[in-house]
Amino acid sequence: MKGLKNNKLVQGMALGALVGGLLALLDRDTRNDVWNKVKTTQASTRYYAKNPSEGFQSLREGYINISSNISNGVTGALDILAKIQETLDSVSKLDDGDIQLNVKLSSDSDDNK
C-alpha cells in the first residue's frame, strides 16, 4: 500500500486547489473578502486566547444548539413516518374492505342465479 507521499491523486488535488485559490485571488473583491475574513478570524482567535472560558462556553452552546436541531429533525422525521404508516394502514383497510365487498357482491349474484 502506498503512502500519501506517493499518491498522485492527493498531490494533484492539492496542487489544483492551490492554483485555483491563487487564481481566485486575482479578483479584487475576492481578495478583499478573504482579507476581511482573515481579520475577523484573527480578532476572534485573539479574543478567545485571552478568554478561553468564553470560548468553551460558546462551543458548549453551539453543541447544545446543534444537538437540539438534530433531535428536532429526528422527531419530525419520526412523526412523518408515523403519519405515512397510518395512511398506508388506512389504504390497506380500504383495499381489504373492497375485496370483502366484491366477494359478498359476487356471492350475492351467484345466489340470484
C-alpha span between 27 and 36 (Å, rounded): 14
Those residues whose C-beta lies under 8 Å from the C-beta of residue 48, and which sit 6 or more positions away, are 54, 55, 58
C-alpha span between 109 and 113 (Å, rounded): 7
What is the DSSP annotation of 4-35? GGG-HHHHHHHHHHHHHHHHHTTSHHHHHHHH
Decide if pLDDT at 111 tops 70.
no
* Distance spanning both ends of the chain, measured CA to CA: 81
The mean per-residue pLDDT over the stretch 8-27 comes to 93
Name the band, by pLDDT with cuts 50, 70 and 90, for residue 94: confident
C-alpha span between 110 and 25 (Å, rounded): 85
The mean per-residue pLDDT over the stretch 53-74 comes to 94
pLDDT at 90: 83
C-alpha span between 81 and 106 (Å, rounded): 37
15-24, 27-36, 99-108: range with lowest mean pLDDT: 99-108
